[in-house]
Amino acid sequence: MSQQDTEQQYEQPTEAPGYIDDVTDAEAREEAHRARGTVRPITVVGNPVLHHACRTVTEFDADLAQLIDDMFASQRAAEGVGLAANQIGVDLRVFVYDCPDDNGVRHTGHIVNPVLDELPLEARVLDDGNEGCLSVPGAYAELPRPDYASVQGQDMHGNPIAVQGTGFFARCLQHETDHLNGYLYLDRLSKRDRKDALRQMAEVTPAYETVPND
């Protein structure tokens, strides 16, 4: 997810693992991942890896840890706030994030095999904010999304975790989970807005390295 631009309390699901603290030492943790990582180019809309559901992670090993480090490095190089594995061409269910919420609090972490919790209708408050994507460089569109999100999954060691967020951070969690299910934010737009976003993309040169579509 790219950068641009009524918090409510919701009851935590009784079956869910405890929500992680992704705020404490956010800067130091991001820097440590990034220092170990290698920047990779970003895949863009039209690349097949972005348009189908990614594979479940079953091996929690050194290769997965390196992938997460590379994703943090790539995310920073592209000046993003969230990055899914298929955005660097890897067909696995994992994403990283380094994203502020609407109060300016920085959230940094990763989640493997994420599943977005379904919100009851009465708990859904839509935020009509702008949304962009590193895989659709230079394009932005208004897209309503719930202003709260809860995601369950695993950490790089296979331990069960859950992440929750509000406002812009909630949008990031939903956006990145969508990626791993084979959807870009473009797929949630009207035909007219999708066409406009693709026009915006065609008019800019990405500020970061991308993978050309053959």
Residue located via tokens 């994703």: 71
Residue located via tokens 């991001």: 30
Q: How far apart are CA 166 and CA 89, in angstroms?
A: 29
**13, 120 in Cβ contact below 8 A?**
no
Lookup: tokens for 140: 């932005």
Q: How far apart are CA 101 and CA 105, in angstroms?
A: 5
Q: How far apart are CA 103 and CA 114, in angstroms?
A: 24
Q: Which of 15, 31, 176, 203 is catalytic?
A: 176
Residue located via tokens 């990034």: 34
Residue located via tokens 């390295």: 209
Q: Is 176 a catalytic residue?
A: yes
Active site residues: 176
